[in-house]
Amino acid sequence: MTNKTRYSRQITLPEIGEQGQLKLLNARVLVIGAGGLGCPVLQNLAAAGVGSLGIVDGDVVDETNLHRQLLYTLKDCGNSKAETAKKTILELNPEINVNVFRDFFTTENAFRIVQDYQIIIDCTDTIAVRYLINDVAVFKKIPVVYASIYKFQGQVSVFNYKNGPSYRCLFPEQESLKVVPNCVESGVLGVLPNTLGAFQATEVLKIILEIGEVLSGKLLVYDALHFQTQIIEFARNPKAIEKGFINGSQLLNSKKTIKNLSPEAFLEKCNQAGIIVIDVRELEETPEFKRENSIQIPLKELEEYSKKLDKNKEIVLFCQTGQRSEAAMNYLQNSGFIGVFHLAKGIESLKNKLQ
């Protein structure tokens, strides 16, 4: 241990001590999402001395992030969240190692990204990505520390811990796009993700240190507006575990056509005859992207609209950052559509290519 002084107040705790601090130093934790939840998670784990952190995020800093994502400042707008987060937390604690993945977590990169990590922290805001995290984690037997937020409320749990319940045990998958909206659509109290992110970091430290009672098989529900908490217990569902394991196995062994399009591949697809291009953003979102073969169908309306589409036609989807379009792609694929693609990093990745 190189710096006992930094961690002296933590080491003083008999439940931690020097051996516990060494456990933290040797831990390898992957944080998927460097937004509202990911920022406090990264700050707290870096400060606590967790020795190796991975950061997964394909997004860039936007001014609308700043009221809740406290790793970033106005001068960071337009820069990679993952790279900016790395720089900031290394200033906080230069003794740790930080590995950056400037990509969204997808079916194509999931196993490559998680391979070196012991714990996954789910700081995402997309339902499809949560199921993907679950299935990879179930197959790899990696515990997942989960949280989600909505307006003034949030929830936290731990999945796959010592053969405990998984995300699918608590939330059986619904083949539908009618899901809880993210904070872009519904808004969020700025301090809320910081509170929930601190809860997540606490669970991670307990897992690493093997102390206390981990939130496995329990969902902590937090209401900030009325300062109320509730614990909901849930059981392990063997069928849900099996489904996650099978999905993970199929994903690992699949040799699918690449469905995540680069900006160049996206523009090339858009110029092909017979392609249907669908913008799943809300009507007021910018920049505009218009082609003769493009239509705008907000994500929440796509399920109904898809009934009019030919399942044998090639379809290209896009949104602002790629997360909603990936959810739409997964839904259409599960509904029997043959050739569905999406712009992996969203319309923002086309800023220098739009005429």
Instruction: Please determine, for residue 46, whether its predicted confidence score (pLDDT) is greater than 90.
Output: yes
Split at pLDDT 50, 70, 90, the class of 29 is very high
Average of per-residue pLDDT across 256-265 = 78
Is 77 annotated as catalytic? no
- Per-residue pLDDT of 62-108, as tens digits, reads 898 889 989 999 999 999 999 999 999 999 999 999 999 998 898 88
Question: Is 277:350 a contact under the CB 8 Å cutoff?
Answer: no
Q: Is the peptide bond before 287 cis (omega within 30 degrees of 0)?
A: yes
Mean of per-residue pLDDT scores for the chain: 90
Q: Which of 104-108, 220-224, 337-341, 350-354 has the lowest mean pLDDT?
A: 350-354
Split at pLDDT 50, 70, 90, the class of 163 is very high
**CATH no., domain 260-350:** 3.40.250.10
Q: pTM for the whole thing? A: 0.80
Phi-psi region of 266 (alpha: psi -120 to 50; beta: other; left: phi over 0): alpha
Q: Of the residues 123, 169, 183, 270, which is catalytic?
A: 183
Name the residue ranges covered by the structural domains of the chain. 8-253, 260-350
Split at pLDDT 50, 70, 90, the class of 196 is very high
- Per-residue pLDDT of 110-124, as tens digits, reads 999 999 999 999 999
What is the model's pLDDT at position 251? 85
Detail the DSSP E strand segments found in the chain. Answer: 28-32, 52-56, 97-101, 119-122, 144-150, 153-159, 218-223, 228-233, 260-261, 276-279, 294-296, 314-318, 339-343
Instruction: Please determine, for residue 177, whether its predicted confidence score (pLDDT) is greater than 90.
Output: no
- Per-residue pLDDT of 291-317, as tens digits, reads 888 899 999 899 999 998 988 889 999
* CB-based contacts of 242, cutoff 8 Å, min separation 6: none
Q: Do domains 8-253 and 260-350 have the same CATH topology?
A: no
Question: Is 274:316 a contact under the CB 8 Å cutoff?
Answer: no
What is the model's pLDDT at position 312? 85
Q: Of the residues 39, 169, 270, 319, which is catalytic?
A: 319
Average of per-residue pLDDT across 323-350 = 86
Does the domain formed by 8-253 have CATH 3.40.50.720?
yes
Split at pLDDT 50, 70, 90, the class of 207 is very high
Q: Vertex 337, ends 333 and 339: CA angle to 5°? A: 90
Instruction: Please determine, for residue 350, whether its predicted confidence score (pLDDT) is greater than 60.
Output: yes
Alpha carbon distance 63, 68 (integer Å) = 10
Instruction: Please determine, for residue 2, whether its predicted confidence score (pLDDT) is greater than 80.
Output: no
Average of per-residue pLDDT across 12-18 = 94
What is the model's pLDDT at position 339? 87
Is 169 annotated as catalytic? no
